Structure 1
């Protein structure tokens, strides 16, 4: 019995058949997907944002990415709940919602984009997401007891207890950088020392040594320490006392992208080695910039680029610097004719609202700006024994009302410092029982947290130097 063998198809032929079949399947799937896409419209693929930046900086974005390109989205198609001012841009398959100012701490926001359409398609869809903003904490200096070291502690508003960030003798001031602290101390010889302390997980990183900064002279005194928000530099007011008297008193800057050596800021606003530093009555970095606003000893206002790249800008004169409004482009300054809001971009001055209830007290203290035309101010009356009965007023445009914060009779208010987003305010007091910081709601005065200590990090945005009388 014989068997006939069937001719076998070439391998290349079988491959072509499988390839054609695969292509047909993919084509069908693509066609079905296209039909579904035209019927359903774009779908949300991903959402990106920085929870921490959303509560500390203006002009922060939440970016929604769709699964396909979308037509231009108008602001009227976007809803944010709880409400917050925003603008909208769209390009390709992304929709960016940019918030005008910082959002509230630890809160859920729902973003809804309606009527989203892909180019050339009739179907519309809705992109919807919920985000949660970051929480916050407060840093303060706790003086040591019985000659022990002082501590910088961190306390979260949503949790009890605190953590020690750094401990050293004679801590007087500090400034927060991106991944480190700059700590100003009184040394054993009666001068000043500065430590740059590396951080890990919010506390000192023991695996990295602390950097001891070389001071401008063998002996001297430093104060009014501030750091740029981006961590690129910090500055302080320094007096050379190596000769036995104070010399070359003025502003010095340390460029952390360079040699880490303090350089005097010259009278023309340029960091220059060996120069006589510009005299300083008050100064601070303008929030979110590398520039500083300086009130000189002659009451001149100078906007200084601490990097040295741009020329200084003269902005007239002022008798006191109160602080900065929100985004930092506006400063609240006192002049011989009243208190004004100074636009740092063009020098324009507008009167600060001052309803009668905010100016009729015997004592008028420092203003803590919250937003444009909104601020807190410490005011007070003099008791029969000569002590000051202080209270905090909130001014919102033409309306002034007392913030419901209780200050003990034997306590004095040493600082009122709004949080970066203006939601809370830290009220620092000093009494016979010691120093205390109360974090309260900036609108209602309701207590959120408290801790023993001084030198709150929120106060670093306020100009330091001579204080209002």
Structure 2
């Protein structure tokens, strides 16, 4: 029989020491964290919020209105008002704030390739007295244009990309007999062929050029042979449309508007006379048409000069907006169109149908030839005007109108060429001036204010012109 005794006092003391040391270290660590947290709170209350992150779309800022710069602070903020935010160079904007974010939304597109500073003053966290200033710099994106360069000597036609801040051009796609094209999201819609019969291809892009690893989609047209003209695409890439004429009998029949829904079957569907997409319907006749910027709606001047706002998706009913003899284009915000009536040129509000006279100072109307209005901003536009020379040709010039003032834009136009289009960039900073002579075509990209030349390309038009309603120039 054996007798066991418990641990002695010395042994118990040795066992307790590690536990006591652990407890002491834990308590010390917690105390340090508490002190650090308290110190941080004190510092934060004394210094105010700090900027943690900034996010924005550099390309969107120069091509679309209502684009935002988001500033994120390191803590929640009291409400920030528009008076607290300053943008330099100045740009119209609104401000909203929630939690620890501040959203600065710009009314219209900003200038290309420019630095802007956004400063938020008097920023305060809830319950704190200290204020701080949040400041950040952003840089907007540059721009380029797509242009159609006709082939010569049997070469294929090329759609090229020309950057305004670098020389040279990159071939995006090439084919024989290209007549029209339009960007569509990450694709390019290309019309080619002859007057007797057209083909429509959807070309996938990668890195801004044709994706050689992806197949080109050849669209099935409504009839065996037909002619496609007046191609336009919605800004969001959800659909595109064109005028189509059935030429199977050798004559043009059932000429009218068709839409291709990219979210559906990709089959062209007629826009019926009542303004609704309908398979097999007789299409609505078209004098001019174009998508309203940043929407899936189209403004159509019918063959009988009726104005109709058509939802190309068919989700809402068409809206009748009276009549017009010519569609000039859209004001930058997209909710207003510039249209010509029997009594003058007006700005048409597409939301309520209200019409207001367009300011037309004498310098913009005192010539025998008056061309299309190319709207730059809410208050300014360009227009080609011309005088008749003794030999019967036109001496053209471009006039810029700012409110009630008209002045000549300092652009040199070739004597032997005529202006075929004046197409503003999405932000109105530049304008493409397309000219055509007996032997050549040229597009000059110029500053819309000074007329200074930025770039040029031997082509008939650029993709900026796709925002203008299709139709002949007025005269």
| TM-score normalized with structure 1 length | 0.97
Correspondence 1:147 to 2:147: no
Query: Is the Cα contact below 8 Å between 2:307 and 2:321 reproduced in 1?
Result: yes
Aligned positions of 1:121-140 closer than 5 A: 121-140=128-147
- Provide the residue aligned with 1:61 in structure 2: 68
Match of 2:471 in 1: 465
Q: CA deviation at 1:455?
A: 2.5
Find the counterpart in structure 2 of residue 40 from structure 1. 47
SS of aligned partner of 1:9: helix
Pairing 1:45-124 to 2, within 5 Å after superposition: 45-124=52-131
Task: Tell me which of 324, 337, 341 is aligned to 1:335.
Answer: 341
CA apart distance, 1:433: 4.3
Q: CA deviation at 1:16?
A: 3.7
CA contact (8 A) 1:352 1:373 kept: no
* Residues 248-273 of structure 1: CA deviation (Å, up to 9, x unaligned): 11000000011000000011111100
Cα pair 2:58 2:139 within 8 Å, conserved: yes
Is 1:270 matched up with 2:276? yes
* Matches of 2:350 and 2:18, distance apart in 1: 77
Q: Distance between the aligned counterparts of 2:322 and 2:64, measured in 1?
A: 28
Which of 15, 26, 46 in structure 2 is aligned with 1:8? 15
User: Closer, same or farther in 2 for the Cα pair 1:33/1:270, shift >3 Å?
Assistant: same
Paired residue total: 466
Deviation at 1:4, TM superposition (A): 6.0
C-alpha distance in 2, partners of 1:92/1:119? 10
Preserved contact between residue 196 and residue 250 of structure 2 (Cα < 8 Å): no
1:28 equivalent in alignment to 2:20: no
Structure 1: stretches of 5+ with no match in the other structure: none
Q: Distance in 2 between matches of 1:207 and 1:463?
A: 34
Alignment RMSD (CA, Å):
1.4
Cross-structure match for 1:243:
249
Residue 393 of structure 2: aligned partner: 387
Residue 466 of structure 1 and its aligned partner are, at CA, apart by 3.4
Quick check: 1:162 aligned with 2:157?
no
Structure 1 residue 407 corresponds to structure 2 residue 413: yes
Query: 1:263, 1:273 within 8 Å by CA — same for their partners in 2?
Result: yes
The separation in 2 between residues aligned to 1:36 and 1:428, in whole angstroms, is: 61
Residue 307 of structure 1 aligns to a residue whose secondary structure is coil
Match of 1:231 among 230, 234, 237: 237
Does the Cα contact within 8 Å between 1:173 and 1:455 map onto a contact in 2?
no
Q: How far apart are the structure 1 equivalents of 2:19 and 2:310?
A: 76
Larger radius of gyration: 2
SS of equivalent residue, structure 2 residue 62: helix
What per-residue deviation string (whole Å, max 9, x for no partner) do you get for residues 93-127 of structure 1? 01111100000000000000011011110000000
What residue number does 1:428 align with?
434
Alignment of 1:247-326 (within 5 A): 247-326=253-332
**1:204-229 per-position Cα deviation (integer Å, ceiling 9, x unaligned):** 11010111111111001110000000
| SS of 2:165 mapped into structure 1 | coil
Distance in 2 of aligned mates of 1:283 and 1:14: 83
CA distance in 2, matches of 1:15, 1:228: 68
User: Is 1:437–2:443 an aligned residue pair?
Assistant: yes
Deviation at 1:147, TM superposition (A): 2.1
Helix, strand or coil at the partner of 1:368: strand
Contact 1:302 1:312 survives alignment (8 Å): yes
Q: Tell me, in whole angstroms, the C-alpha distance in 2 between the residues paired with 1:135 and 1:458.
A: 15
Q: Secondary structure at the match of 2:35?
A: helix
Q: Could you tell me which residue of structure 2 aligns to residue 416 of structure 1?
A: 422
2:277 partner SS: coil
Which stretches of structure 1, 4 residues or more, deviate above 6 A after TM superposition?
none
Cα distance change on mapping 1:466 and 1:450 into 2, 3 Å: closer
What CA distance in whole angstroms lies between the structure 2 residues aligned with 1:19 and 1:249? 84
Q: Unmatched 5+ residue regions in structure 2?
A: 1-8
Q: Contact 1:281–1:466 at 8 Å: present in 2 too?
A: no
Q: In structure 1, how many angstroms separate the alpha carbons of the residues matched to 2:408 and 2:20?
A: 89
Residue deviations 1:60-99 (CA, integer Å, cap 9, x gap): 1001000001111111111110001001111110111110
Contact 1:355 1:399 in 2 (8 A): yes
After superposition, the C-alpha distances for 1:290-345 in whole angstroms (9 at most, x for unaligned) are: 00000000000000000010000000000000000001100000001100000001
Any conservation in 1 of the 2:308–2:320 contact (CA below 8 Å)? yes
Deviation at 1:19, TM superposition (A): 2.8
Q: 1:4 to 1:371 in 2, by over 3 A?
A: closer
* Equivalent pair of 2:443/2:461 in contact (CA under 8 Å): no
8 Å CA contact 2:196, 2:247 repeated in 1: no
Once residues 449 and 314 of structure 1 are traced to their aligned partners in structure 2, the CA distance between those partners, rounded to angstroms, is 41
CA distance in 2, matches of 1:96, 1:4: 68
Structure 2: distance between partners of 1:195 and 1:370: 32
